[in-house]
């Protein structure tokens, strides 16, 4: 945008020599202050306006107009051009002031959103007993940098408990729901003896939260989520899936989707199946990694419209550390989509470490 006024001027100069004498091209410079308003402040727009007026006179005296007296520059036609350029310059300065105010407001909104995001998705410890954890969050709403995808990791007496979820919708409404879900999980994860009880507790809490919403919004406010529990002294991982994409188990150069035998509906839609939650138990040995993610990963499309093949892409990265794996995933998603990620993305990798657990 900084080069836009200069590019516009170059186009006018390129057109001038090839137009007939009776076709004055200088009138095109009337728009130059308005073009400058998209990239510069009001003072710079004023300078560009003066430059445009002077340059209109210069163009009127170019060789293609040779033979005309100097008084011709003050012909009624050119005086009208100068007046119009001045008026457009004033409007351009007003536009520049308005644009700068909006940019400052947007910068403030981004700062607030980033602060809210850090509070909502607080950094998780990289080492919890026998589990190493890394996270990734990408928001598609670049103007706000905030979305409804969520994750959390809590060390409890039952093992390390993990949550990755995706709130229906985006923006601040989704953030409000995500905050309610995370608050409940951070409390209930310490109290509930198993994942089934934890899922039921989350369902009740979400139902109460949704009941406070006006009209028919309650039925439309739900969260897909996957809960995982990694015990300290058992080489297994327990999973309850509530309408969420299946976790990915990464082991010895292979990546396997852990589909639930009887997946539950999303949180706040549990009334559809009553209290039926199934815990799936999978082997999880030292060196294994568990990738939890939101549908923004698997629904990423390439320019041809094909979905991102997560398991196929991740399998060759099985030997990477959790941080390296997520960094590689981030780079690959951006490259696969040609830089056009259209949905929020949250991902979490849990790596089982060898040896006894530590506090």
C-alpha closest to that of 192 among 208, 207, 204:
204
Residue 341, pLDDT score: 78
**CATH T-level fold of 126-352:** Phosphatase 2c; domain 1 (3.60.40)
Q: Which of 9-18, 52-61, 160-169, 255-264 has the lowest mean pLDDT?
A: 52-61
How many Å apart are CA 42 and CA 86, to the nearest integer? 13
> Which residues neighbour 285 within 8 Å (Cβ) at sequence distance 6 or greater?
235, 251, 352
Three-class secondary structure of residue 351 per DSSP: strand
Q: Spell out the domain ranges in the chain.
A: 4-112, 126-352
Q: Give the residue-averaged pLDDT of 261-273.
A: 77
Beta-strand pair 236-242/149-156: unpaired
Beta-strand pair 149-156/127-128: unpaired
pLDDT band for position 170 (cuts 50, 70, 90): low
What mean pLDDT, rounded, does the chain reach?
A: 81
How many Å apart are CA 341 and CA 299, to the nearest integer? 10
Backbone angles phi, psi at 355, to 5 degrees: 90, 175
Q: Which of 140-149, 249-258, 316-325, 341-350 has the lowest mean pLDDT?
A: 140-149
pLDDT over threshold 80, residue 114: no
pLDDT over threshold 70, residue 106: yes
Residue with more model confidence, 42 or 16:
42
First-to-final CA distance of the chain:
54
Residue 256 corresponds to which tokens in the numbers above?
Answer: 């396997």
pLDDT over threshold 70, residue 271: no
Residue 153, pLDDT score: 93
How many Å apart are CA 130 and CA 359, to the nearest integer? 9
C-alpha closest to that of 188 among 178, 179, 199:
199
pLDDT tens per residue across span 284-312: 999 999 999 998 899 889 888 899 999 99
Residue 347, pLDDT score: 92
pLDDT tens per residue across span 36-67: 888 888 888 888 888 887 877 666 654 444 44
How many Å apart are CA 159 and CA 13, to the nearest integer? 72
pLDDT tens per residue across span 76-98: 556 777 788 888 888 888 988 99
C-alpha closest to that of 310 among 281, 284, 336:
336
The secondary element (H helix, E strand) that includes residue 336 is: helix 322-336
Question: CB–CB of 225/165 below 8 Å?
Answer: yes
Three-class secondary structure of residue 267 per DSSP: strand
pLDDT over threshold 60, residue 144: no
Residue with more model confidence, 60 or 359:
60
pLDDT over threshold 80, residue 220: no
Q: For residues 187, 191, 197 and 203, what is the CA-based torsion angle, rounded to 10 degrees?
A: -20
C-alpha closest to that of 224 among 265, 178, 255:
265
Residue 172, pLDDT score: 65
The model carries a pTM of 0.68
pLDDT band for position 197 (cuts 50, 70, 90): very high
């Amino acid at each position: 945008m900084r080069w836009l006024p200069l590019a516009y001027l170059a186009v006018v100069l390129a057109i001038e020599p090839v137009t007939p004498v009776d076709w004055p091209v200088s009138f095109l410079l009337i728009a130059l202050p308005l073009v400058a308003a998209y990239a510069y402040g009001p003072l710079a727009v004023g300078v560009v306006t003066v430059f445009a007026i002077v340059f209109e006179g210069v163009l009127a005296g170019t060789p293609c107009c040779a033979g005309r007296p100097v008084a011709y520059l003050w012909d009624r036609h050119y005086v009208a051009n100068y007046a119009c350029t001045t008026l457009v310059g004033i409007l351009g300065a007003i536009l520049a002031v308005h644009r700068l105010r909006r940019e400052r407001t947007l910068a403030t909104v981004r700062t607030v959103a980033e602060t809210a995001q850090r509070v909502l998705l607080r950094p998780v410890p990289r080492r919890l007993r026998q589990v190493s954890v890394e996270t990734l969050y990408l928001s598609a709403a670049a103007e706000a940098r905030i979305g409804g995808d969520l994750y959390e990791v809590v060390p409890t007496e039952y093992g390390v408990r993990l949550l990755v979820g995706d709130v229906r919708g985006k923006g601040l409404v989704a953030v409000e729901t995500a905050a309610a879900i995370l608050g409940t999980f951070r409390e209930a994860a310490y109290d509930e003896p198993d994942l089934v009880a934890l899922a039921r507790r989350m369902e009740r809490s979400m139902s109460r939260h949704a009941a406070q919403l006006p009209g028919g919004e309650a039925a439309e406010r739900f969260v897909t989520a996957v809960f995982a529990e990694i015990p300290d002294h058992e080489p297994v991982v327990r999973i309850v899936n509530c309408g969420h994409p299946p976790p990915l188990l990464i082991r010895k150069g292979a990546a396997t989707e852990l589909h639930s035998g009887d997946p539950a509906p999303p949180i706040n839609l549990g009334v559809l199946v009553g209290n039926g939650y199934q815990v799936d138990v999978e082997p999880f040995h030292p060196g294994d990694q568990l990738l939890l993610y939101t549908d923004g990963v698997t629904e990423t499309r390439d320019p041809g419209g094909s979905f991102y093949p997560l398991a196929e892409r991740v399998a060759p990265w099985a030997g990477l550390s959790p941080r390296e794996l997520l960094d590689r995933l981030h780079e690959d998603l951006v490259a696969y989509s040609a830089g056009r990620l259209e949905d929020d993305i949250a991902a979490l990798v849990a790596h089982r470490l060898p040896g006894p657990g530590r506090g």
